[in-house]
Structure 1
């Protein structure tokens, strides 16, 4: 059995930021356990055209600047390359292909087991797998009857496979807008939402919104209770709204049910559809913590600001609105990691 002061589960942006900061918070030996074959978290699995909604200057992890023009919006592959370079920079041992199956209390600390039977012990654990491992699809009436193709945004890569089809993209967030905009070039596409799309100006008064968030301290911890009540907004400088209009992507109210051939709308009309893309977000999922006492009955973690409230020496990093608006972002995970590590000592 291998021992460490701290075990971090996940080598995405949250886990890597946590590992980088661990030595200065009293954890000289840190192990990072990553289920994939390389660091990078969920980023390598995102759709091909994904670009950040934050400029490079606001997309850095602690101690390593995001390279290149600081005012550009990096693409997916740039983020993956940055994270893997950062992993080489981190003073921690990273074990890849190490899927964690259980985390249990052991001799006053934690025992962590992986799918291949390896075991590790540590006095503290940080769960940094976020929520991108749990794609959410709403329980819509008739969903099981639909005979066309249905996939979550987590499984969408590029528009070519959908050329000439009738596609419904369900969701009103950033990913839904990006996917619908590019599908509109090759397919008859509609964006299906429960409410009007909440557009937010990407560059008010010529400054990126992340500049305003930083300098007004809008995304700091005291505001987190307010922020979770704010409706989902789409950051856009006008590019995506123009793309939707140019490609004829219309917005439709949420259908009442699915049929074998497509969807039924609120006025009773039916429409055929070849594909439904569920851009409906994710839910927290920490299956390796089941039985640890750290989870609610529905699987959500019991925590305050990322510190487990029911068990000792367990933290979380990388959850949406964990402490602020920027939690779960490249810019915000370092701040949350420092907060958690300082309270795990």
Structure 2
């Protein structure tokens, strides 16, 4: 029996593998992709972190960049490759998990797309959400002859040169993509609520300095929703200025599609070429459906520990335990919390006691 199987080898899975080793458990990490870097290579070409290198590091390996530089997507890919090498873990790439089931005696059985069946005492579900982008279903959407896409499939602004583009969403990705598209296309941000811009620098420090210094990074997500009121967009000043000057405009969400048009909330009808949804993602956990660990696709858990199946934990859920969950700077805290619960379960379960070191 394998001590624990970690499903996914992005930042969440690698953080979990390290935490398991700290508890003297030997994980097997299963990654659907060709290397242990998660979904990072598939993000859009210009993506840069909103946190500088000094706040974008995981335990055991400093980010190899100037502390105040904002790393590019490819910098993160290189960093995760190096991080995986430091773990010395059994990481099996090109191995997609199809189903996780409960073993009749104890633990779990994991089936993979290439026909493997593995038995394990514990499961760390660390597949994140990039593989499950969310696109709302609006009236008339099936009749629209233009292009409907999601930011998960967006790569570069030149692909939309000369178009009329509507970017749906008010988060960091929506604003960053709309801003770069504005050099090549006529762009509007469509959002349900006004955008909450948060200055990237305050009193000579990046905002992440204050998030860490004040403890905001560790606050539970309920606090964020109650006192902030929604998504925050990190802004050096360029994004808010672009909206205020009309470089890109923001309008209340449109209500419907037609063959070549959309209808805005005020009744105005406008022809558009592309609607790009930056409307977030849902947990990519379909392999747990037969186990009965999900409700409407969402995991039933408390702070990353399954409330339906002892021995099942999660890492990499958005706002899993705090504002910094599912980020390079914060995912290790969630991993340590979840893995501690998993290790305690393994040591207490009579059928699994043989796994103790």
CA distance in 1 between partners of 2:131 and 2:23 (Å): 28
2:224 aligned to which of 227, 235, 241: 227
Aligned to 1:75: 72
Aligned to 1:198: 196
Aligned to 1:48: 45
Please list the CA deviations of residues 59-99 of structure 1 after superposition, one character each: whole Å capped at 9, or x if unmatched. 11121111110111101010111111111111211111100
Q: How does 1:20-35 map to 2 (within 5 A)?
A: 20-27=18-25, 29-35=26-32
Q: Secondary structure at the match of 1:219?
A: helix
2:9 aligned with 1:11: yes
Aligned to 1:278: 277
Task: Give the Å deviation of 1:243.
Answer: 4.6
Asked if the contact 1:20/1:91 (under 8 Å) is kept, the reply is no
CA distance in 2 between partners of 1:37 and 1:228 (Å): 37
Please list the CA deviations of residues 134-161 of structure 1 after superposition, one character each: whole Å capped at 9, or x if unmatched. 1011121111111001110000000111
Query: Which sections of structure 1, spanning at least 5 residues, go unmatched?
Result: none
2:86 aligned to which of 80, 84, 89: 89
CA distance in 2 between partners of 1:51 and 1:244 (Å): 20
Asked if the contact 2:243/2:250 (under 8 Å) is kept, the reply is no
Give the alignment's TM-score, normalised by structure 1: 0.95
2:294 aligned with 1:289: no
Give the alignment's TM-score, normalised by structure 2: 0.92
Please list the CA deviations of residues 87-113 of structure 1 after superposition, one character each: whole Å capped at 9, or x if unmatched. 111121111110000111113111111
Aligned to 1:61: 58
Runs of 4 or more consecutive aligned structure 1 residues displaced over 3 Å after TM superposition: 242-247
Task: Give the Å deviation of 1:340.
Answer: 0.7
CA distance in 1 between partners of 2:246 and 2:198 (Å): 21
Please list the CA deviations of residues 160-182 of structure 1 after superposition, one character each: whole Å capped at 9, or x if unmatched. 11111111111110000111001
Please list the CA deviations of residues 32-72 of structure 1 after superposition, one character each: whole Å capped at 9, or x if unmatched. 10001111111111000001011111111121111110111
- Alignment: residue pair count: 340
CA distance in 1 between partners of 2:83 and 2:258 (Å): 47
Q: How does 1:196-345 map to 2 (within 5 A)?
A: 196-221=194-219, 223-229=220-226, 230-244=229-243, 248-296=247-295, 298-345=296-343
